[in-house]
Amino acid sequence: MNRHLHLLPLLALLMLAACGGSGSSGPPPAPAVSLSPTSLSFGKVALNTASASQAITLTNSGTATLTISGISVTGTDAAVYAQTNTCGSSLAAQAHCSITVTFTPTAAASTSATISIASNAVGSPASVALSGTGAPNTPVVSLSSTALNFGNQTVNVSSANQTVTLTNTGIAPLNITSIALGGTDSGAYTLATTCGSVVAADATCTITVGFEPGAASTTSASVIITSDAVTSPDSVALSGTGVIATSANTLPITIDMGPPGITTANIAYATVTVCTPGSSSQCSTIDHIQVDTGSYGLRLFASEIGSVLPTPVTDGSGNPIRECVVYADGYTWGSLGKVDVTLGSRTISRVAIQVLSDSASGAPPNTCATTDGTSNGTYENTVASFGARGILGIGVFAQDCGEYCVQTPAHPQWYYSCPGGTCSPAAVSLVNQIQNPLTLLATDNNGVVVDLPAVAAAGQNTLQGTIYFGVQTQANNDPTGATWYTLTGNGTLVTNYTAVGKNTVSSFTNSFVDLGSNGLFFADTGITGCTTAVGFYCPSSPLSLSATIVGANNAQVTTPFTVDNAETDFANFPSAAVYPHIAGNNSSPTAPTNAFDWGSPFYLGRKVYHLFENNTLGTIVAPAIAF
């Protein structure tokens, strides 16, 4: 599931008293204060050093003499500012004088104060805001990240590069002696930098690192930055694991910002190849296919499949079958067709998929766009509105609807038969429904494992992970040590959670674990919601919380999690695509009710095993998950 001033008129009545004759009196003469500028910023200034002076012009823009009773510096940090002036005790109408201000910081901190001018003018005292930052007269190394995790990487294959930005936040040039790799496994990493030998004050440069493991093992190293900064040597920790790519049951996944021109967060993507059935030339390899464990089947936008010609899926009378799918944040519509699908090194023939927003399917029917008169959200009919070129649903069920859609009379918001372009709900056999393609593999077809490494609280620009086909069929998908939690027939479990500021436990009986949701989503009126990042939570400070997951088999575990201010995270780390601590409410009209949605942040730092329906593993009867 994709998650994804009034100005009141003021009427002033001015009553003018009549004077003798035909004239009338105007307002009495009065002084008025005008200040330019209305604020001064001194920027960074070396400790115990007076800044260059800055001037304020005070003008008596009124019609009477301005009497000045005092000009002073006020506020918390008034002691580090000084003023002199040429104003005296009075200022004639339309005359002006100067106030000169200097800043002499005594501590490395941001400061603020105010120039206050007391006078006989209306609105006295007038003021000018002052700000400045004390800084050591030295260079300061600031790094955008102090740790890079490359996750699993195939032995002898180079990873995607990751970059750290170095900023000299001091007021003196930073002289760099060396930037080098160090540590036991430094040979597994590569380094490039744009920093040179000197980085000017407030300037930036980049350090780019790659990972190419030479053996199947966990590695660690560091980037060491030696300079004349007080903190030298500064370092960036490096980690990554080399894996052997001989199992042929893997599909690489990446969390990044999405297809070009789109900005997403916490969405995992894979690359998929589809071909016209039986053809090796009419094929398209499509990147940025969202990977989702909360839905089922492969759905691709018609604009992305190129020359591929899916074999249409039809009803018993030869009429084309279309499908409506309602997600937590909108809905899609498109035709069904069969194609050959390649995931990693595995090819599956004649898989029923959905071609989204194809011209043949036309506009979605009203029963797809609304439910009982309530809108189902946005019609996500483009790559931009959907946030991906398609979606690969690999949840615990074999079809997207199952027996429910075999029944007659047919149910709306699923499958439709469309003779002559007029669509009505239709019953569709299991074999013609959209299939979870992993259940159709010849081997390693009983489940799937999602493996994503942990990331630092500040997030990460990109993250590489792995999908393993099968559960306990090879060494790389062995769940030994993990605990199993069986699911209901709807794929749900229970989450017990005590809301912030409450003493009672709420039981969310329709909870689920879903890689396709880009945060943790649950109802808690005790957590402040965001005003700009609508749907996410924005507490005043990070919240350390926990909830208890309970399987249908009564296995349970209390899981801690952190809720950050999402707007602060997005603003502080605008280049990140991975945010481990964002969460939101579950208030979408199409979202499941009474549910705790354990979205993609739940997957970070753990292997999550999904056992598909109609399978068993020892005493565990699917559907089930383990971690």
So what's the pLDDT on residue 20? 38
Q: Are residues 284 and 417 in the same domain?
A: yes
Distance CA 434, CA 305 (A): 17
In a domain? residue 297: yes
Q: Give the CATH number, domain containing residue 229.
A: 2.60.40.10
User: What pLDDT sits at residue 256?
Assistant: 95
Task: Please report, for the domain that includes residue 568, its CATH number.
Answer: 2.40.70
Please give the pLDDT value at position 617: 96
Residues of the chain predicted below pLDDT 50: 1-23, 246
Asked whether residue 492 falls in the same domain as residue 583, the answer is: yes
Contact criterion met (CB below 8 Å) for 78 and 132: no
Q: Would you list the DSSP string of 180-223?
A: EEESTTGGGEEEEES--SEE-TT-EEEEEEEE--SSSSEEEEEE
Tell whether 303 and 391 lie within a shared domain: yes
Q: Are residues 153 and 53 in the same domain?
A: no
Regarding pTM above 0.85, the answer is no
Instruction: With H, G, I as helix, E, B as strand and everything else as coil, classify residue 476.
Output: helix
Give the pLDDT confidence of 138-173 residue by residue, as tens digits.
Answer: 899 999 999 999 999 988 889 999 999 999 988 899
- Which residue do the tokens 């062995």 mark? 478
- The pLDDT, as a whole number, for residue 11 is 29
The residues that bridge with 25 in the sheet, in sequence order, are none
Length of the chain as a residue count:
627
125 and 113 Cβ atoms separated by less than 8 Å? no
Statement to judge: residues 427 and 536 lie in one domain: no
Residue with tokens 């559907």: 623
CATH code of the domain in which 274 resides: 2.40.70.10
**Residue 245's pLDDT is what?**
60
**Are 398 and 435 spatial neighbours (Cβ–Cβ below 8 Å)?**
yes
| Burial class (CB within 10 angstroms; exposed 0-12, middle 13-18, buried 19+) of 38 | exposed
What does the pLDDT read at residue 535? 93
pLDDT of residue 482: 97
At 420 the pLDDT is 87
**In this predicted model, what pLDDT tens digit does every residue of 66-117 receive, in sequence order?**
999 999 999 999 999 999 999 999 999 999 999 999 999 999 889 999 999 9
- Average model confidence (pLDDT) across the chain: 92
- Cβ proximity of 279 and 311 under 8 Å: no
| The predicted structure's pLDDT at residue 411 | 86
Q: What is the pLDDT of residue 5?
A: 31
For the chain, helix, strand, coil in percent to 5 are 10, 45, 45
Q: Total structural domains in the chain? A: 4
In a domain, 464, yes or no: no
* Residues 562, 521 share a domain: yes
Domain assignment of residue 89, yes or no: yes
With beta carbons less than 8 A apart as the criterion, state whether 224 and 179 touch.
yes
Residue 386 lies in domain: 250-440
Whether residue 22 lies inside any domain: the answer is no
Q: Domain check: are 331 and 184 in the same one?
A: no
Is residue 539 classed as helix, strand or coil in its secondary structure? coil
Which of 225, 243, 261 corresponds to the end of one domain? Answer: 243
Q: What is the reported pLDDT for 12?
A: 32
In this predicted structure, what is the pLDDT of residue 328?
Answer: 76
Clarify whether residues 146 and 123 are in a common domain. Answer: no
Residues 6+ apart with CB under 8 A from 110: 131, 132, 133
CA 358 to CA 338: how far, in whole Å? Answer: 14
d(CA 300, CA 303): 8
Same domain as 393, residue 529 = no
Order of all β-strands in the sheet with 162-168: 141-143, 162-168, 204-211, 189-193
Our measurement of the distance from residue 611's CA atom to the centroid of its chain's CA atoms, rounded to an integer in Å, reads 28
Same domain, 622 and 483: yes
Is the same domain home to 291 and 219?
no
Residues 170 and 119 in one domain: no
